[in-house]
Amino acid sequence: MNNKNIKNIFPLTCPYCGNKEFFYQKVRYSGEWDFEVNNQGDCDVTCNNLDMYQDATYKLKSVYYFCEECHKKVAKIPIDKRY
């Protein structure tokens, strides 16, 4: 591929509201986990649920980054950053 055709989109900046801090990807995930709770049925600092998403499967719902402020599409996710 010709490197002249690759546009560097980083650092991300929202062209609509000017946000330069936080963005998100829309991802769908599924899996199964035994969610640990205490003897009161609550999850507090004593519960160990750190591996909750370890065996989950993930799939992008969109190939775009979205602005966390205004929720509009900001840029297309490069192929090497899609997971």
pLDDT tens-place values along the chain, 83 residues long: 444 555 789 999 999 999 999 999 999 999 999 999 999 999 998 899 999 889 999 999 999 999 999 999 999 999 999 97
Identify residue 62 by its one-letter amino acid code: S
Do residues 17 and 67 touch, judged by C-beta distance below 8 A? yes
- The predicted pLDDT at position 10 comes to 96
Identify residue 49 by its one-letter amino acid code: N
Do residues 70 and 41 touch, judged by C-beta distance below 8 A? no
- The predicted pLDDT at position 5 comes to 54
Sequence spans of domains, the chain: 23-81
Cis bond leading into 11, ω under 30°?
yes
Do residues 66 and 24 touch, judged by C-beta distance below 8 A? yes
- The predicted pLDDT at position 9 comes to 94
